[in-house]
Amino acid sequence: MLSPSLSLRAPLLWLLLPFMAGLAASRQREAPPDRLGSFAAVALVLCASAGGAAWRSNRRWARLAWPAALLPGMFLAGYVYLPARQPPRLDRDNLPPREVTMTIEAELVFPHAKGAPSACGTGRIVSTEAHLPELAGQRVYFSVIRRMSTTQPVRSGGYVIHGVLESLPREPEEATFQDYLANLGVRLKVMRARIVREEHPPRWFQLLCGSAANRCEAILRHGIERHPDATSVYLAMLLGSKAVLTPEQQNAFLRSGTFHIFSVGGLHVGVIALAVQSLLLLVRLPRAAGIVAGLGVLWIYVQVTGGSAPAIRSFIMIAFYLGGRALRLPGNALAALAAAALVTLLWDPQQLFSTGFQMSYAVVMALIVMGLPLAEKWQAAWRPFSSLPKADWRWWQHWTASGGRFLLGSLATGWAALLASIPPAIGYFHLFSPGAMLANIFVLPVSSLAIIAGFASLLAGMAGVQSASLLFNHAAALLIKGMDAAVRHGSGVPGVCFPARFAVPWLTPTMIALMAALMLLGLAARWSLRYGGFWPPAVTLAAVLFFVVKFG
């Protein structure tokens, strides 16, 4: 019988992959505005033809006709969708720095340390001065001086601000903050600004989330204030407040390839989703009601932590996966991943070009497509004490067998994640971290336990049980202090991390796409030895590292 990890099906990949290719092509060479309608009409006709051919798929000609129509149709759909969802491009050469007064609606406010002089975020320009009408609808990065402002920015709030407007570089340097903003579709920035007045208040839900975030921070700090290093890591892990980390901590976790634990995303949302579902099972809530309640709690957590794009992407994927289980659909993790990616890109096509989207989906796809089958293969080969009946095993033999399976499973998934994460790490962060696999084998279980302890502390604190909250905080702090010390010392070991970069920038997205394609092809071939088994991704990456990566 075929293993479930080798029998994954995701028909939405027929839509997702050409759609992503169309978005990428549009980013490189945008379609003329006067031809968008024509391209959209052709895309609609091709997709409709593909649907008709698929309906007649019992005919031989239809089996070839529907992919021949669907793939170019979805490519054209992505090609016209990106410019249709973005405001018109600006002639930035005619926009020198100038003082402006404009009205913006805050979309994202970045976490900042207490006492920071400025509050920063991104927003959308609602209106501006009469001689700059073309700025309406553009995304903008703002940095407002807190002591000179009448109020503080909150997500979804409208504010009249006065500051210096500048254009961002057309082609910012990779792995910089300006590159991050460009990938979000931000083309302008307002610096040294002040909030003149509040145009309209934030939505009540965002105010509630802000109050809840302050309450959560107070609960998590309770009893461990005398351990500032552990507290900063604790808050960064649970609430995504990376601004509280010290430079030494940021450098150590970045060099070890474990900085992702501070970005509220798949790890955090997945661990908390598992904790919520386990808790609801204990109270014997019906499955459908439990999934709805669990997703509600998860959505509140995502919003309280700032509603970052990685957290929302992870929520969408988990929602599809749990929704399929609730409806008893024949779904799987790969199908849920494809559906989440498609919905995310329909919601905001600019996400495709963000580092977070590319890294998170590449790594999760690698875990599903390659990591789980490889783990099953290695675990099946682990057969200690096979000459003895299992009923006659001693306790240490059971522990040896279970521990070996756990270690082999961790190594297999870690290896797959490492193969998928190396290209974006080199391309976007200019780091090659061969020690990341071993570091993550240690850091991921410890950080997951700390996240569970933090979530339990929040539940106890919200319920008013301060003693239980204190206990969970101390348990989490103990785990974090050990993890922090190990990462700091381990990141300084020679060979853990090397400066590296690709010879040409376009190799970064090319390698990410190539590794994903090799893994999907490996799954389609059932990772058969006839087609190289699990070796093609590793051999390809090794060749790239040898020939086209510059170290040092």
70 residue type, one letter: L
**CA angle at 525 for the pair 521 and 526, rounded to the nearest 5°:** 115
Q: Are 183 and 355 in contact (CB under 8 A)?
A: yes
> What pLDDT, on the 0 to 100 scale, is given for residue 58?
66
CA distance 153 to 144: 9
Q: Are 548 and 505 in contact (CB under 8 A)?
A: no
Task: Pull the structure tokens for residue 536.
Answer: 């093609």
> What residues contact residue 543 under an 8 Å CB cut-off, 6+ apart?
none
Considering only CA atoms, which of 121, 117, 125 is closest in space to residue 149? 117
Helix (H) or strand (E) holding 478: helix 466-490
Q: How far are the Cα atoms of 44, 150, 341 from residue 51, in angstroms, in the given order?
A: 11, 56, 22
Whole-model pTM?
Answer: 0.83
CATH of 92-203, one of 2.40.50, 1.10.10, 2.10.25, 3.30.70: 2.40.50
Mean pLDDT per block of 10 residues along the chain (552 residues) reads 72 90 86 75 79 66 73 89 79 71 88 76 88 85 87 88 87 74 83 90 86 87 86 83 77 77 71 79 77 84 80 82 72 82 89 84 88 90 85 86 88 87 86 79 83 88 88 91 85 79 87 92 90 92 90 82
Q: Are 212 and 304 in contact (CB under 8 A)?
A: yes
Q: Are 246 and 484 in contact (CB under 8 A)?
A: no
Considering only CA atoms, which of 446, 441, 437, 453 is closest in space to residue 481? 446
CA dihedral 380, 383, 388, 392 (to 10 degrees): -80
Bridge partner list, 194:
162
458 residue type, one letter: L
Q: Are 218 and 171 in contact (CB under 8 A)?
A: no
CA distance 258 to 444: 8
> What pLDDT, on the 0 to 100 scale, is given for residue 499?
86
Query: By CB neighbour count within 10 A (0-12 exposed, 13-18 middle, 19+ buried), where does 536 fall?
Result: middle
Indicate the domain borders of the chain: 4-85, 92-203, 354-432+503-552
> What pLDDT, on the 0 to 100 scale, is given for residue 57?
65
> What pLDDT, on the 0 to 100 scale, is given for residue 267?
67
